[in-house]
Amino acid sequence: MSRPNYNKKEFKKLVSKTPSGFMKRQETTREDRKNKMRSAKLALSILAILDFKKMSQVALAKKMDVTPQQVSKILKGQSNFTFETIDKLEKALGYTVVSVNIIDFEREARKAEFVMKDMTERTIQVKTTKQRAAEHITIKDNFHYRSIFEFNQFNSLSIANDNLRPTGS
Amino acid sequence: MEILPIFVSQSNGIYAIRQDGETLDALEILQDNWSNPEYVYEFFKVNRQLLDQARYRDYTAQEAAIKTLEDAVILFDQLEQYAQSGFESHEQNLSDFFTPLHKNETNLPPYQASKAYGVQIKNSWLRLYAIRLDVNCYIITGGGIKLVNAMQDVPYLAEQLEYLAQAQRYLEENQVLFPEDL
């Protein structure tokens, strides 16, 4: 299966001694990947706003009072933001681009409590279709089964009567 | 043109081509572009009409850009995994990751053009293009965001076809394949 069908010697001559930087980059980016993805998503939002407002990167830099290089770094997703820069950015763009998730365990607990209370008060009883149908049925006392169709010729009762008829004498 | 090793073990490995006049090889360029939000945003802005096809109609340009960034991370991770799991096991080899570029190719031509679109990435439009030398020996020539049926339809993918052909010619000139195998 792994028999090489190519000329290894000739191929080795072609291969350069300096390796590709791919593996190294993978290693270096692995740790701050989440961080990078977050700042990339932020960059996409900023790009969209700039497009919508027909604003150039240079104009943004001027409004934010930073160098154009810094803006370009932000838009490449390479910037590590401080709250100060985020504030400047939001003022310049007129949009809130970053929001903070507030973690409040007490509020969470209260919410859960409210939901539980609401659920128990309502207590919805789930019935099957058969159960629901049974509510509308009342069985009378004089109920007895009777065939809807009467087939005289196959009526077993009449046949039986015939057989029981005294024969002869 | 130069061939740079990415991951090599014994006679097997993944390589990437560096075009003349470039400082980065094909895979590094993709790695840079597909993690750069500015590049991806510009791409979908320019090629917006390609997203209007039935298959990708649900994506806005913004969502498509985010998907590209996320899928690229997965794709490169998978390539790295395939490389690092070694080439000795019969169960997992590079031929699973790379498939022939032309679907209906029944025989195995020398310097077969191949593609990779990652394992189980939903609606993935990222492609890596490579030349196959052996079961576990591939030379990556480039890649692209493929939103069309035929590569010839858009200039940036037609360019990739040209890179594949160039690499094939380069290997042929240097007689990398054994004559009896031809």
Three-state SS string over A102-116 comes to: CCCHHHHHHHHHHHH
pLDDT of residue A86: 93
- Which chain A residues are Cβ-neighbours of B25 within 8 angstroms? 20-22
pLDDT of residue A166: 63
Q: Cβ–Cβ of A23/B7 closer than 8 Å?
A: yes
The three-state secondary structure class of B165 is helix
Q: Cβ–Cβ of B176/A11 closer than 8 Å?
A: yes
Say if A60 is an interface residue toward chain B (CB within 8 Å).
no
pLDDT of residue A3: 46
Q: Which of B138, B146, B144 has its CA nearest to residue B167?
A: B138
Nearest-CB residue to B3 (from A7, A14, A36): A14
Residue A72, H or E segment: helix A68-75
pLDDT, one tens digit for every residue, chain A (169 residues):
344 567 777 788 888 888 888 888 898 888 888 889 999 999 999 999 999 999 999 999 999 999 999 999 999 998 888 999 999 999 999 999 999 999 999 999 999 999 988 888 777 677 888 888 888 887 776 666 666 655 555 555 555 566 666 665 5
Parts of chain B with a pLDDT under 70: 86, 89-91, 178-182
Among B1, B4, B19, pick the best mutation site for testing chain A contact (most A Cβ within 10 A). Answer: B4
Q: How many helices (H) and strands (E) does chain A have?
A: 9, 0
The three-state secondary structure class of B6 is strand
pLDDT of residue B112: 85
Strand order, beta sheet including B137-145: B2-9, B12-18, B137-145, B126-134, B112-116, B99-100
Distance from CA of B91 to the nearest CA of A (A): 12
Nearest-CB residue to A47 (from B16, B41, B177): B41
Q: Cβ–Cβ of A21/B28 closer than 8 Å?
A: yes
Distance from CA of A103 to the nearest CA of B (A): 27
Cβ neighbours of residue A21 closer than 8 Å, sequence gap 6 or more: B24, B25, B28
- pTM equals 0.78
Q: Which two tokens stand for residue B162?
A: 């040209």
- Which chain B residues are Cβ-neighbours of A35 within 8 angstroms? none
- Which chain B residues are Cβ-neighbours of A8 within 8 angstroms? 11
Among A2, A8, A51, pick the best mutation site for testing chain B contact (most B Cβ within 10 A). Answer: A2
Exposure of A57 by Cβ count < 10 A (0-12 exposed, 13-18 middle, 19+ buried)?
middle
Q: How far apart are CA B130 and CA B18, in angstroms?
A: 13
